[in-house]
Amino acid sequence: MAGGRIRAKIRRSSLYTFACYHSHPSEAEGPHDIEGPGYSRMVYCNQPHMHEQKPFRYCSNYISTTKYNVLTFLPKAIFEQFRRVANLYFLLAAVLSITPISPFSAMSMIAPLAFVVGLSMAKEALEDWRRFIQDMNVNLRRATVHKKDGTFGQKPWMKIQVGNVVKVEKDQFFPADLLLLSSSYEDGICYVETMNLDGETNLKVKRSLEATLSLDDDSTFKEFNATIKCEDPNPNLYTFVGNLEYNRKVYPLDPSQILLRDSKLRNTAYVYGVVIFTGHDSKVMQNATKSPSKRSRVEKQMDKIIYFLFTFLVFISFISSVGFIVKTKYDLPTWWYLQVPDDRGYFDPRDPLMSGFYHLVTALILYGYLIPISLYVSIEVVKVLQALFINRDLHMYDEETGTPAQARTSNLNEELGQVDTILSDKTGTLTCNQMNFLKCSIGGVAYGTSSSDVELAAVKQMALDEDRQSKAGTPPSWGKGRQGSGESEIELETVITSKDEDNHKPALKGFNFEDSRLMNGNWFKEPSADVILLFFRILSLCHTAIPEQDEVTGVFTYEAESPDEGSFLVAAREFGFEFCRRTQSSIFVRERYPSFHEPIEREFKVLNLLDFTSTRKRMSIIVRDENGQILLLCKGADSIIFDRLSSYGRTYQESTTKHLKDYGEVGLRTLALAYKKLDESEYSSWNEDFMKAKTSIGGERDLMLERLSDMIERDLILVGATAVEDKLQKGVPQCIDKLAQAGLKIWVLTGDKMETAINIGFACSLLRQGMKQICMTSNVDASAQNSKQTVKENILMQISDGSEMIKLEKDPHAAFALIIDGKTLTYALENDVKLKFLNLAVNCASVICCRVSPKQKALVTRLVKQGTGKTTLAIGDGANDVGMIQEADIGVGISGCEGMQAVMASDFAIAQFRFLERLLVVHGHWCYKRIAQMICYFFYKNIAFGLTIFYFEAFAGFSGQSVYVDWYMLLFNVVLTSLPVISLGVFEQDVDSEVCLQFPALYQQGPKNLFFDWYRIFGWMANGLYTSLIIFFLNVIIFYDQAFRPGGQTADMIAVGTVMFTCVIWAVNCQIALTMSHFTWIQHFLVWGSVVSWYLFLLIYGELRLSLNVNAFRILLEVLAPAPIYWCATLLVTVACNLPYLAHISFQRLFNPLDHHVIQEIKYYKRDIKDRYMWRRERSKARQTTKIGFTARVDAKIRQLRGRLQKKYSSHGKDVVVTQQT
920-974 tens-digit pLDDT:
999 999 999 999 999 999 999 989 988 888 888 888 777 767 778 877 877 887 7
3-state SS record for 694-737: HHCCCCCHHHHHHHHHHHHCCCEEEEEEEEEEEEECCCHHHHHH
pLDDT tens digits for range 706-716: 888 889 999 99
Confidence at residue 1018, expressed as pLDDT on a 0 to 100 scale: 92
Confidence at residue 735, expressed as pLDDT on a 0 to 100 scale: 87
**Distance in angstroms (rounded) separating the CA atoms of residues 195 and 171:** 13
Residue 524 has pLDDT above 60, yes or no: yes
Residue 30 or 829, more confident: 829
Q: What percent of the chain is helix, strand and coil (3-state, nearest 5)?
A: 50, 15, 35
Residue 708 or 1216, more confident: 708
Dihedral sign, Cα of residue 977, residue 982, residue 985, residue 987: negative
Please state, as a whole number, how many other Cβ atoms lie within 10 Å of the Cβ of residue 474: 9
Confidence at residue 481, expressed as pLDDT on a 0 to 100 scale: 36
Q: Alpha-carbon Rg of the chain, whole angstroms?
A: 38
Confidence at residue 485, expressed as pLDDT on a 0 to 100 scale: 35
**Distance in angstroms (rounded) separating the CA atoms of residues 918 and 1041:** 60
Residue 841 has pLDDT above 70, yes or no: yes
Residue 156 has pLDDT above 90, yes or no: yes
Confidence of residue 1163 (pLDDT cuts 50, 70, 90): confident
Task: Express as a percent the part of the chain with pLDDT over 70.
Answer: 82
Residue 480 has pLDDT above 60, yes or no: no
pLDDT tens digits for range 87-132: 787 787 778 777 777 666 667 677 778 877 888 888 788 878 888 8
**Distance in angstroms (rounded) separating the CA atoms of residues 420 and 916:** 14
Across 104-108, 451-455, 1079-1083, which has the greatest mean pLDDT? 1079-1083
Question: Are 278 and 176 within 8 A, CB to CB?
Answer: yes
Secondary structure (3-state) at 398 = strand
Instruction: Name which of 1092, 1180, 1040 is nearest 465 in CA terms.
Output: 1180
Question: Are 1083 and 1076 within 8 A, CB to CB?
Answer: yes
DSSP per-residue codes, 118-185: HHHHHHHHHHHHHHHHHHHHHHT-EEEEEEETTEEEEEEGGG--TT-EEEEETTPBPSSEEEEEEESB
Average pLDDT value for the chain: 80
Residue 1176 has pLDDT above 90, yes or no: no
pTM of the model as a whole:
0.71
**Distance in angstroms (rounded) separating the CA atoms of residues 1027 and 1007:** 31
Secondary structure (3-state) at 343 = coil
Listed range (467-471, 527-531, 921-925) with the worst mean pLDDT: 467-471
Confidence at residue 275, expressed as pLDDT on a 0 to 100 scale: 94
Please state, as a whole number, how many other Cβ atoms lie within 10 Å of the Cβ of residue 29: 11
Residue 845 has pLDDT above 80, yes or no: yes
Q: Which residues have a Cβ under 8 Å from the Cβ of 1114 and sit 6 or more positions away?
A: 1102, 1103, 1107
Question: Are 984 and 1076 within 8 A, CB to CB?
Answer: yes
Q: Where are the alpha helices (DSSP H) in 809-877?
A: 822-828, 834-842, 854-868
Average of pLDDT values for 35-63? 83
**Distance in angstroms (rounded) separating the CA atoms of residues 597 and 389:** 58
Instruction: Name which of 368, 278, 178 is nearest 949 in CA terms.
Output: 368
**Distance in angstroms (rounded) separating the CA atoms of residues 76 and 66:** 12
Q: Which residues have a Cβ under 8 Å from the Cβ of 1104 and sit 6 or more positions away?
A: none
Residue 499 has pLDDT above 50, yes or no: no
Confidence at residue 488, expressed as pLDDT on a 0 to 100 scale: 33
Confidence at residue 27, expressed as pLDDT on a 0 to 100 scale: 47
- Among the listed residues 135, 262, 425, 1155, the single catalytic one is 425
pLDDT tens digits for range 230-244: 888 988 877 788 889
Average of pLDDT values for 171-187? 89
Instruction: Name which of 238, 241, 261 is nearest 174 in CA terms.
Output: 261
pLDDT tens digits for range 1199-1214: 677 777 776 666 655 5
Confidence at residue 1172, expressed as pLDDT on a 0 to 100 scale: 65
Dihedrals phi, psi of 557, to nearest 5 degrees:
-120, 165
pLDDT tens digits for range 13-40: 334 333 333 334 444 455 666 666 677 8
- Catalytic residue flag (residue 1168): no
Residue 631 has pLDDT above 80, yes or no: yes
**Distance in angstroms (rounded) separating the CA atoms of residues 332 and 339:** 9
pLDDT tens digits for range 314-358: 888 888 888 888 877 776 667 665 666 666 656 666 677 877 787
pLDDT tens digits for range 194-214: 877 765 666 777 888 888 988
Residue 474 has pLDDT above 50, yes or no: no
Q: Where are the alpha helices (DSSP H) in 956-1105?
A: 966-971, 978-987, 993-998, 1014-1029, 1035-1039, 1053-1075, 1081-1103
Average of pLDDT values for 1135-1156? 89
Secondary structure (3-state) at 779 = coil
Dihedral sign, Cα of residue 1100, residue 1105, residue 1110, residue 1114: positive
**Distance in angstroms (rounded) separating the CA atoms of residues 73 and 67:** 8
Confidence of residue 783 (pLDDT cuts 50, 70, 90): very low
Sheet strand arrangement including 816-821: 406-407, 908-910, 890-894, 871-876, 419-424, 745-749, 846-850, 816-821, 772-776
Confidence of residue 577 (pLDDT cuts 50, 70, 90): very high
Q: Which residues have a Cβ under 8 Å from the Cβ of 1040 and sit 6 or more positions away?
A: none
Q: Where are the alpha helices (DSSP H) in 169-286?
A: 195-198, 283-286
Residue 507 has pLDDT above 80, yes or no: no
Please state, as a whole number, how many other Cβ atoms lie within 10 Å of the Cβ of residue 225: 12
Confidence at residue 442, expressed as pLDDT on a 0 to 100 scale: 94
Confidence at residue 1218, expressed as pLDDT on a 0 to 100 scale: 47
Q: What is the dihedral of CA 877, 879, 880, 883, to 10 degrees?
A: 100
pLDDT tens digits for range 754-770: 776 777 777 777 887 77
pLDDT tens digits for range 710-747: 899 999 999 999 998 876 778 888 888 888 888 889 89
Confidence of residue 491 (pLDDT cuts 50, 70, 90): very low
Residue 485 or 1218, more confident: 1218
Confidence of residue 918 (pLDDT cuts 50, 70, 90): very high
Burial of 853 (0-12, 13-18, 19+ CB in 10 A): buried
